[in-house]
C-alpha cells in the first residue's frame, strides 16, 4: 500500500508539473515574451511555483489552469496565488476546483516566496493526500479483504495445530494411564493367585506379606483413580474442600512413613498449623514426593523441609534428578505436559500430578514456587500463610 501510494504521488507530481508547464507556455505565448526553460519548480509535495516572465491576469490564469488540469486528469481542488513584485507579496489568493466552477478566496500570507523570478504564481493542492487516498480506495478494500482472509487462515491453522497437539496429548495420556493402571492390577492378580494356593496357609509370614502387597497396590490404584477424578472436578471448578486446622508436621510424618528409607525430613517450622483440606493436602504432598522419588537416582535421598519465611510456612521438596530446563518450567504445571528427554522414557506417569498440585494450591490461595537447573535437581516450594489456631 505504501509503495502504491508513493507511486501515485510521483505520478500526480509529474502530471502537475507537465500541466503547469503547459500553462506557462500558453501565458508566454499570449503575452509575447520569450519562452522559459524549466519554468516549474516544486517547493514541497503539494506546492509549486511557475515562472511567467510577465504579469498575469487572474481570469486568464484560471482558464488555462482548469483546461490544463482537466486535460491531464487532475480532478481535484487547488489554490492559486499571483506574486506582485511591487508589494513583494502574493496577491489574488483563490481556491478553485476542476470538479466545479466554485471559487472562494484563500489566504496566501504563509506561502513560500522566492527571489529567483520577478513574475510568478504559486499553486497549492491542499487535498492532495485525500485525492491520492481516494484513488487507492479499491486497493484499500482489496487489501482489507486479503488481511481478513489471512486472519481466518491463521486462525484455522492455529485450531488445526491445537487439535493435533491435543490429540497427541490424549494419546500419550491414555498410554501412560493404561500402563499405570495395569501395573497394580497385574501385581494384585499375581498376589491373588499365590493366596489361592493351598500351601500358603502353612506359611503365615508369606501369607501376611502377600496380603500386604494386595492392600498397598489397592491403595496405589485408589490414589491414581482419585487423582484423575479430582483433576476432572478441578477443571469444572468443583473441587470439594473441607477445610480444617491441621498439624502439617503430623500429616507430613504420617504420609512419609512408606518412604522413610528414601527421604530426609527436616521439620523446623515454628508454627506448623495450617488451614487446609486434609485429603487434598495429603495428595499434594504425595504427588510432590512421588515425583521427587521417580525423577531421582535409585540410591538418592529426597529432602522434605518445613521452615519459616516471614508470615508464611514453607513446605519444600527437593529431588536429585536431572533438573528442568528454563523453557519447560512454566509448562510443567499444564495438564498432561511432560518434560521431553529425547528417547528416554524410564519414568512413567499421567502427566497430571503437578497440574493437580497447582489446582490444590490455587484452591487454598497458597503460592507454588519452583527452583530448578539442569543437572542440579529441582525444588518445589509451597508457601502457606500462617494462621493463628483458635
* CATH code of 295's domain: 3.30.565.10
Q: Which residue has the cell 497549492?
A: 124
Question: Which pTM does this prediction carry?
Answer: 0.50
Q: Which domain holds residue 123?
A: 2-135
The least confident of 8-12, 111-115, 257-261 is 257-261
Q: Is 254 found in the same domain as 199?
A: no
CATH code of the domain in which 158 resides: 1.10.287.130
Other beta carbons less than 10 A from residue 320's beta carbon: 17
Q: Is 22 found in the same domain as 131?
A: yes
Q: What is the mean pLDDT of residues 160-178?
A: 77
Q: What is the mean pLDDT of residues 1-22?
A: 85
What confidence tens digit (pLDDT) does each residue in 70-79 have? 999 888 889 9
Helix axis angle, 128-135 relative to 137-195, nearest 10°? Answer: 60
What confidence tens digit (pLDDT) does each residue in 254-274 have? 888 877 788 899 999 988 889
Phi and psi of 38, rounded to 5°?
50, 65
Residue ending a domain, among 88, 111, 135, is: 135
The least confident of 51-65, 78-92, 230-244 is 230-244
Q: Is 173 found in the same domain as 280?
A: no
Report the share of the chain in percent with pLDDT over 90.
Answer: 20
Q: Please answer whether residues 263 and 301 qualify as being in contact, where contact means their C-beta atoms are separated by less than 8 angstroms.
A: yes
Q: Please answer whether residues 289 and 264 qualify as being in contact, where contact means their C-beta atoms are separated by less than 8 angstroms.
A: no
Cα-Cα end-to-end distance for the chain:
71
262 CB-near residues (< 8 Å, 6+ apart): 293, 301, 302
Q: Is 199 found in the same domain as 267?
A: no
Q: How confident is the model at residue 231 (pLDDT cuts 50, 70, 90)?
A: low
pLDDT at 342: 47
| 101 CB-contact burial (10 Å; exposed 0-12 / middle 13-18 / buried 19+) | exposed
pLDDT at 379: 93
Residue ending a domain, among 135, 168, 198, is: 135
Q: Hey, which bits of 66-194 come out as E strands?
A: 77-84, 89-97, 104-105, 120-124
Task: Report how far residue 8's alpha carbon sits from residue 5's, in angstroms, rounded to the nearest whole number.
Answer: 5
Q: For residue 98, is pLDDT > 90? A: no
Tell whether 183 is covered by a domain. Answer: yes
Strand partners, 247: 273
Average pLDDT, the chain: 83
3-class state of residue 211 by DSSP: helix
- 103: its cell numbers: 471559487
Question: Among 75, 20, 86, which residue's Cα sits nearest to residue 49?
Answer: 20
How many structural domains are present in the chain?
Answer: 3
Q: Is 213 found in the same domain as 123?
A: no
**H/E segment holding residue 194:** helix 137-195
Q: For residue 45, is pLDDT > 90? A: no
Q: For residue 344, is pLDDT > 50? A: no
pLDDT at 340: 63
Pick the most confident of 112-126, 135-149, 226-240.
112-126
Q: Is 58 found in the same domain as 171?
A: no
Q: How confident is the model at residue 132 (pLDDT cuts 50, 70, 90)?
A: low
Tell whether 160 is covered by a domain. Answer: yes
Tell whether 333 is covered by a domain. Answer: yes
Q: What is the mean pLDDT of residues 347-367?
A: 78
Tell me, rounded to whole angstroms, the distance of Cα 315 from its chain centroid.
33
Going by the DSSP 8-state scheme, the letter that residue 36 receives in this structure is P
What confidence tens digit (pLDDT) does each residue in 140-159 have? 778 888 999 999 999 999 99
Tell whether 148 is covered by a domain. Answer: yes
Q: How confident is the model at residue 348 (pLDDT cuts 50, 70, 90)?
A: low
Q: How confident is the model at residue 388 (pLDDT cuts 50, 70, 90)?
A: low
More reliable by pLDDT, 108 or 338: 108
Q: Is 309 found in the same domain as 212?
A: no
Task: Report how far residue 256's alpha carbon sits from residue 215's, in angstroms, rounded to the nearest whole number.
Answer: 17
Tell whether 61 is covered by a domain. Answer: yes
Residue ending a domain, among 211, 235, 259, is: 235
pLDDT at 133: 62
Tell whether 177 is covered by a domain. Answer: yes
Tell whether 390 is covered by a domain. Answer: no
Q: Is 77 found in the same domain as 155?
A: no
The least confident of 162-176, 251-265, 329-343 is 329-343
Helix and strand counts by DSSP (H, E) for the chain: 9, 13
Q: Please answer whether residues 54 and 27 qualify as being in contact, where contact means their C-beta atoms are separated by less than 8 angstroms.
A: yes
What confidence tens digit (pLDDT) does each residue in 308-325 have? 988 899 999 999 888 888
Q: Is 160 found in the same domain as 120?
A: no
Q: Is 370 found in the same domain as 253?
A: yes
Tell whether 182 is covered by a domain. Answer: yes
Q: Is 129 found in the same domain as 164?
A: no
Q: Is 359 found in the same domain as 254?
A: yes
Amino acid at each position: 500500500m505504501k509503495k502504491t501510494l508513493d507511486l501515485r504521488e510521483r505520478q500526480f507530481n509529474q502530471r502537475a508539473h507537465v500541466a503547469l508547464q503547459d500553462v506557462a507556455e500558453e501565458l508566454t505565448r499570449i503575452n509575447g515574451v520569450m519562452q522559459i526553460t524549466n519554468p516549474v519548480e516544486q517547493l514541497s509535495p503539494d506546492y509549486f511555483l511557475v515562472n511567467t516572465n510577465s504579469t498575469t491576469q487572474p481570469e486568464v490564469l484560471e482558464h488555462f489552469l482548469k483546461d490544463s488540469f482537466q486535460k491531464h486528469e487532475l480532478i481535484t481542488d487547488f489554490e492559486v496565488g499571483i506574486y506582485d513584485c511591487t508589494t513583494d507579496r502574493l496577491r489574488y489568493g483563490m481556491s478553485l476546483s476542476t470538479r466545479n466552477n466554485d471559487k472562494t478566496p484563500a489566504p496566501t500570507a504563509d506561502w513560500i516566496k522566492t527571489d529567483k523570478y520577478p513574475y510568478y504564481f504559486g499553486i497549492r493542492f491542499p487535498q492532495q493526500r485525500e485525492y491520492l487516498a481516494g484513488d487507492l480506495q479499491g486497493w484499500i478494500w482489496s487489501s482489507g479483504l486479503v488481511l481478513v482472509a489471512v486472519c481466518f487462515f491463521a486462525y484455522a491453522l492455529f485450531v488445526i495445530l491445537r487439535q493435533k497437539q491435543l490429540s497427541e496429548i490424549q494419546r500419550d495420556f491414555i498410554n501412560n494411564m493404561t500402563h499405570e493402571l495395569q501395573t497394580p492390577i497385574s501385581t494384585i492378580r499375581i498376589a491373588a493367585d499365590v493366596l489361592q494356593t493351598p500351601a500358603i496357609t502353612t506359611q503365615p509370614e508369606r501369607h501376611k506379606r502377600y496380603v500386604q502387597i494386595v492392600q498397598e497396590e489397592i491403595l496405589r490404584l485408589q490414589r491414581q483413580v482419585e487423582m484423575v477424578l479430582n483433576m476432572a472436578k478441578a477443571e469444572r471448578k468443583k473441587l470439594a474442600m473441607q477445610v480444617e486446622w491441621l498439624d502439617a508436621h503430623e500429616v507430613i510424618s504420617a504420609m512419609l512413613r512408606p518412604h522413610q528409607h528414601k527421604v530426609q525430613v527436616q521439620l523446623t517450622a515454628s508454627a506448623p498449623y495450617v488451614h487446609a483440606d486434609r485429603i487434598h493436602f495429603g495428595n499434594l504432598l504425595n504427588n510432590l514426593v512421588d515425583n521427587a522419588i521417580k525423577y531421582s537416582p535409585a540410591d538418592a535421598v529426597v529432602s522434605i523441609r518445613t521452615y519459616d519465611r516471614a508470615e508464611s510456612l514453607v513446605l519444600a521438596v527437593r529431588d536429585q534428578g536431572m533438573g528442568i530446563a528454563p523453557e519447560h518450567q512454566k509448562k510443567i504445571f499444564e495438564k498432561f505436559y511432560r518434560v521431553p528427554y529425547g528417547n528416554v522414557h524410564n519414568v512413567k506417569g499421567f502427566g497430571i500430578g503437578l497440574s493437580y498440585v497447582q489446582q490444590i494450591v490455587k484452591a487454598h490461595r497458597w503460592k507454588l514456587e519452583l527452583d530448578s537447573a539442569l543437572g542440579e535437581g529441582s525444588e518445589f516450594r509451597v508457601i502457606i500463610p500462617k494462621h493463628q489456631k483458635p
